Amino acid sequence: MYKQCKNIDNSIADCVIRIEDGACIPFSLGNTDYQAYLKWLEAGNTPLPAENN
Amino acid sequence: MAYGTVNTDIVSDSSGGRLAPISSVMRNRIINGAMVIDQRNAGASVTPTTVGAYTYSSVDRLWYLISQSSKFTIQQNAGAITPPNGFFNYVGVTSSAATSVGSGDYFWIGQSIEGFNTSDFSWGTANAKTVTLSAWVYSSLTGTFGGSLYNSASNYFYPFTYTISSANTWTQISITVTGPTSGTWVGATNGVGVRVLFNLGAGSTLSGTAGSWASGSAYAPTGAVNVVSTNGATFYITGVQLEVGSSATGFEYRQYGQELALCQRYYFKVSGSNAPNATWGSGKMTSTTNAGIHAVHPAPMRDLPTWSYGGTVVVEGTSGFAISAIAVTYSSYIATRLGLTISGATAGQGAFATVGSTSSDYIQASAEL
């Protein structure tokens, strides 16, 4: 399960939070955690919305 | 004084014998092959629980890949035996049960080598180079063990075997592998160049004939010893080396700082056990609830890293504020700007980030393969 991230100005950030451990994953195709996130999306899942700062 | 020119990549003596190369820089493509660096656990035992994904939880650069959780433990210097002469560390696997290995089960450890460090192999071309894998192994079991080399797509494999004849005795093994002229290999990129796998248990559908390259899913040789099938069985390994050539040479020792820096291209951790209240970044309070912290990576990382933390991580201004979340604001291979969620700060104040004072207090960044 993942949750979107927001920047300080509350815009959507180019990263996502992996809820199980709170890890912040940048949107970079070479990052294997991001690759796992993309597979999760392909499986039809949707991340939780980000919380406002 | 005139200087000569060396036009060959092989230096031979007058009787045709090959001389040892003057430089051994990066002869060994395995990182942390002597199992010296253990940033994540500092030697503590780990029980692998994550199923179906390459997972890093033991000594640096070593992954596990399993189909059932909690069937073995893994630890730097498990069992506290004497390592082979010249080594001071090893990694040890201890089976936690007599696990029945089904046809699709797998229990593996290994390392993924970055394409930039294997591109000279020229695998998948007519110029594919022969390589030799060597290591020291030790087990409470005897028999034919195995593993494999395979590509990034996990569809082209070379299963190999090796023999441990004497239980509880360090045995040096060497496997020479003719370079594959087929298969898809990533070349000089930051992706997976080659994966090196040591089998602890593999089902029949994931096994194949040893000693040749083939498409499919032969992660292990058919009939190899399944360590996980014997409760309490051990498998220890160190001195792992993968090098170009048709014979194994002596293990390439690296200075500690050099090996650590190689590991930190893929993962680094700042922990309270390294230095209590260690500083790892600085910046300012951007609001009452957020601090912008710039953290420089100790080595240029393979890719933009994933960040996480555990225990107490504090942003220090005029007082300390424990963080409750972490977000990547900007990132590059050499540094990251993080947004840390705090409470009660004063916007505009200078800030620096620290960890607490125990091994449970840490910040880490991972760009593993």
Distance between CA B90 and CA B97 in Å, rounded?
22
Q: Which of B113, B356, B139, B136 is nearest to B244 (CA)?
A: B113
What are the tens digits of pLDDT across the range B319-330? 899 999 999 999
Residue B352 has pLDDT above 80, yes or no: yes
Q: Answer whether A28 sits within 8 Å of B290, measured CB to CB.
A: no
Q: Which of A3, A9, A24 would best serve as a mutation to test chain B binding (most B beta carbons within 10 A)?
A: A24
Average pLDDT, chain B: 93
Flag whether residue B54 sits within 8 Å of chain A, measured between CB atoms: yes
pLDDT at A53: 64
Q: Answer whether B304 sits within 8 Å of A7, measured CB to CB.
A: no
pLDDT at B242: 98
Q: Which of B43, B30, B131, B137 is nearest to B87 (CA)?
A: B137
Quick one: average pLDDT of B158-176? 98
pLDDT at B153: 97
pLDDT at B158: 98
Q: Answer whether A8 sits within 8 Å of B366, measured CB to CB.
A: no
Contact (CB, 8 A) for B78 and B91: yes
pLDDT at B13: 46
In angstroms, the separation between the Cα of residue B221 and the nearest Cα of chain A is 28
DSSP assignment of B200-237: EEE-GGGEE-TTS-EES---EETT---GGGSTT-EEEE
Instruction: Please state, as a whole number, how many other Cβ atoms lie within 10 Å of the Cβ of residue B176.
Output: 14
Contacts of B308 in chain A (CB under 8 A): 21-24
Specify the residue for token string 């309490």.
B232
Residue B4 has pLDDT above 50, yes or no: no
Between B191, B289, B341, which is nearest A30 by CB? Answer: B191
**Could you tell me the pLDDT band of residue B24, with boundaries at 50, 70 and 90?**
low
What are the tens digits of pLDDT across the range B186-208? 999 999 999 999 999 999 999 99
pLDDT at B23: 47
Between A24, A28, A32, which is nearest B307 by CB? Answer: A24
Residue type, B250: G
What are the tens digits of pLDDT across the range A7-52? 877 788 899 999 999 999 999 999 999 999 999 999 999 999 998 7
What are the tens digits of pLDDT across the range B198-254? 999 999 999 999 999 999 999 999 999 999 999 999 999 999 999 999 999 999 999
Q: What is the distance in angstroms between the CA of the first residue and the CA of the last residue of chain A?
A: 21
Flag whether residue A28 sits within 8 Å of chain B, measured between CB atoms: yes
- Residue B41: DSSP 8-state: T
Q: Which of B287, B328, B337, B340 would best serve as a mutation to test chain A binding (most A beta carbons within 10 A)?
A: B328
Contacts of A10 in chain B (CB under 8 A): none
**Could you tell me the pLDDT band of residue B10, with boundaries at 50, 70 and 90?**
very low
Residue type, B308: S
Displacement of CA B260 from its chain's centroid (Å): 12
pLDDT at B11: 47
ipTM of the complex as predicted? 0.96
Flag whether residue B312 sits within 8 Å of chain A, measured between CB atoms: no
Contact (CB, 8 A) for B98 and B50: no
**Could you tell me the pLDDT band of residue B2, with boundaries at 50, 70 and 90?**
low
Flag whether residue B164 sits within 8 Å of chain A, measured between CB atoms: no
Q: Which of B247, B171, B237 is nearest to B199 (CA)?
A: B237
pTM: 0.93
Query: What percent of chain B stands above pLDDT 90?
Result: 90
> How many interchain CB pairs under 8 A, A with B?
69
pLDDT at B26: 84
Q: Which of A32, A33, A52 would best serve as a mutation to test chain B binding (most B beta carbons within 10 A)?
A: A32
Residue B154 has pLDDT above 60, yes or no: yes
Contact (CB, 8 A) for B366 and B56: yes
Report helix, strand or coil for B12: strand
Contact (CB, 8 A) for B198 and B248: no
pLDDT at B317: 83
What are the tens digits of pLDDT across the range B274-306? 788 899 999 999 999 999 999 999 999 999 999
In angstroms, the separation between the Cα of residue B281 and the nearest Cα of chain A is 17
DSSP assignment of A1-53: -EEEEE-TTSPEEEEEEETTTTEEEE--TT-HHHHHHHHHHHTT--PBPPPP-
